[in-house]
Each structure stands twice: as structure tokens, then as C-alpha cells.
Amino acid sequence: MTTAPRLECSREAARLAALDRYDVLDTPREEAFDRITRLAKRIFDVPIVLVSLVDAHRQWFKSRIGLDLQQTEREPAFCNIPIAQNAPLVVPDARADPRFAGNAFVVGEPGVRFYAGAPIVSPGGHVLGTLCLIDRKPHEFSADQLETLTELAQVVMDELELRQLANSDALTGAASRRAFREELGRALHLATRHDHELSLVVFDLDDFKQINDKHGHSTGDAVLARSVAACLGQLRVSDVIGRLGGEEFGVLLPHTGARAAFEVAERLRAAIAEASFSSGGETFHVTASFGVATRLRGTVDADALMREADAALYLAKAQGRDRCVMARPAEIPADSSGRRRVLKGGKILFDRRTRSRDCTIRSLSDSGAGIDVVSSAGLPDTFELAIDTDAKVRPCRLVGLTDRRLEVEFM
């Protein structure tokens, strides 16, 4: 590897590490960011405004107006240029620009003609993504407008800094994901030190997207808030509930063994199912799927416990939803407890290295990894994994799979 590619790889690794510190990927909508995109839409009079954060394989939208997609592949993203150059990019007419005329987002959906993106730059100088404007018709964009867009991108960065200090989710009152993970780490340390029981429950509201699509986001927000309230009525003061994603939550149960934790999960499931909601003259109910994991003697890895609960949740979904499933060691990759949390770029190589797919490595050990992809469709059971910061290419065997998450062991 020559010096230039090695330097570029090092910069990207540092950028991903900076992005990971904000723990913002795949988090719920937040009004602070939606307010910025609404303001930008009014100021610039464009149909699409995005707060786009870019990891190794995708651009993911923390806030979006005018676009239904939550994420897209990274490769065709216009945002790659502001990230690489740490400078704004303006494309008045993409069809007339040889760099973008054949771009998948230009010739296909969403039919980009105009693009303006300002980098979202961390205090350490790393570009985490962009605040970008998109239109389906050409635009001119003045220097004053570009300056305003750049200032709004700085406001996005300021909000990312502020959310680091937030301990609760503004919509539901549950602990923020960062606060919940910190509390899980502390509780696990105490449980290990004093050798007492501890369990973790994760749950996900079933078919929640259909609720938003049919009844609107305001009704969806009410469902989230009241579901949390229903759960709080079943929990002790010492228990902690946190919002981990859009409709995914975690419940930390100190001094609670496997059987008692499963019983708590069943009570939570029943409480959510009993709540009724009204919209447009229609009354409806929601259900949730639960995964339960309990600390084994000697366990000190919070991420490993979370993965066990997630695996049980995925199984509950696969078995038909509206149920609780207890994690069993046989269902968890054997190496997962030794994993460390990371955010690294990589490529999946298959068909004798004639085909590849960008990916983001989210957890890693000497014997396996957890990998995110835009889609797992078409991937074989065995392949090779190239990690950007590692010259070694590792043969892998697939041991766990969801639509966008792979669990692999190294061969």
C-alpha cells in the first residue's frame, strides 16, 4: 500500500471513530434536528432537506424532509465529496455535470438535479456528514446562501454536542441511548463485583412503520410515549428503561435472574397490548416483541449482553411477533463475549473476489465480527472480509443473519 492510500485509510478510520463517539447512528427522530431541516426548507425553498451522517457503507439520515428513505448506499452519495474535501459542494444541475450525470440518484430516484451540501464538522476537524439540500430541478446558489447553509450545518454540529449531555429522550421520558448504555455498564460492573444477578430486556413495537404510515407521525409519537408509560407502571424504581432506536427500547433489571426477568417481560408485553389508541375514529392496539438476556457468571461485556438480548428479540420476531424469547447460549455466536465495540470500514469479498459489498464493522474480536450492510440479500454463507485499517483479509463463515446485520466467525 502506498503512502497516499494509507494516509486516506487512516483519516477515514479517525473520522469513523469520531462519528462513533457521538453514538447517534440509528437513533430516533429528534425535534432539535427536525427544526433545522424545516428551517432550511423555508429559507431555501427546496423539497428535500437532509441531515446526512455517513459511516463506512451508507448515508443515514438523522433528519429528513421530502424523502421516505431512512438510508441509502454510500457509494453514489453526493455527500462523499464534502466529506473528502471538508468543503461545501454545490451542483446547480447534476445532469449537466459530468461527475454526476450518470449517478444512480440522478438517473433514478429521487431524481436529483440540484444539490448543495455543507459539511458537519466535529470540534476535532472530522466531517461526520452533511446538511444538504436537494431539488428535482436546477438551481443557482449564491455565495450568501452557501454561507447560510454552512452556518446551519454548524448548528447541527452544536446539537450533536448538546445531545451528548442529554440523559433522557424528549418524547418518551425514557433514558437516552447513551445514558442507558452507561447505566448498563455501571450495573454490570456492580453485578460482577458483588456477584449478583442482572438481566436485560430489549423490545421492539411490532409493525410500527405501518402505524406511522396509516395514522401519521403524531399518532406514532403518542403510541411510543404511552407504551413507555405502560411499561413504567410494571417496573420498580431501581429498573431503568431506555430508548435505543426509533421503536426499540431496553429495560435494565438489577438483582433479577432469568425466570423473574422473563416474567417481567411478559408483564410488559401484556401492558403494551392492553393499551388502546384512537385515530380518525378508529381504535387500535399495538403489540411488541421481547428478547431477554441474563448475566452469566464472569460476564463483564455490556455489548455482549446487548447482543444476546438482540438475538432473542430477532428470534421473537421470526417466530411471529407479540412474544417473549429468552436468550440461550447456543443461539449466540461463541466468540461474541470477547468482542469490542468498533466502527470500522470494510468490504465483503465473494465470488472469488470478483464481487464486493461495502460494510461497516460494528464489533470485532480475534475470532469474529458483527457487520452492518445496506442489505444482506445475495451474500453467500462464506466470504472474505477486508477491514480498511488491517492489511489482512479474513475468511469468514456466516453464523447469524438479519436483513442488515451479519454475525460471522473467522475461519
Instruction: Supply angle C-alpha 249, 204, 309, rounded to 5.
Output: 70
Preceding peptide of 92 cis, ω within 30°: no
Active site residue 409: no
Task: Compute CA 69 distance to the chain's CA centroid, rounded to the nearest angstrom.
Answer: 14
**Cβ neighbours for 170, distance < 8 A, ≥ 6 positions apart:** 30, 31
- CA 222, CA 301: separation in Å to the nearest integer? 34
| Continuous segment of H or E residues that includes residue 303 | helix 302-318
Among the listed residues 332, 316, 305, the one whose alpha carbon sits nearest the alpha carbon of residue 407:
332
| Continuous segment of H or E residues that includes residue 44 | helix 31-44
- CA 59, CA 70: separation in Å to the nearest integer? 9
Which one from 30, 247, 248, 407 is the annotated catalytic residue?
A: 247
Among the listed residues 3, 16, 2, the one whose alpha carbon sits nearest the alpha carbon of residue 387:
16
Output the CA torsion sign for 249, 251, 257, 259. negative
Q: In Å, how far are 15, 363, 397 from 381, measured between CA atoms?
A: 31, 19, 6
CB 276 within 8 A of CB 283: yes
For 236, the 3-state DSSP assignment is coil
Kindly state the cell numbers that stand for 279.
385515530
Location of C-alpha cell 463517539: 21
- Phi-psi bin for 86: left (phi > 0), alpha (psi -120 to 50), beta? left
CB 134 within 8 A of CB 115: yes
Task: Compute CA 264 distance to the chain's CA centroid, rounded to the nearest angstrom.
Answer: 27
Among the listed residues 299, 296, 365, 366, the one whose alpha carbon sits nearest the alpha carbon of residue 328:
296
Give buried/exposed letters for 252-274 (b at 16+ CB in 10 A, else e).
bbbbbebeebbebbebbbebbbe
Q: What backbone torsions phi and psi does residue 22 show, to the nearest 5 degrees?
A: -85, -15
In the β-sheet with 198-205, what is the strand arrangement from edge to edge?
240-243, 248-254, 198-205, 288-294, 324-326
Q: Which residues are catalytic?
A: 247
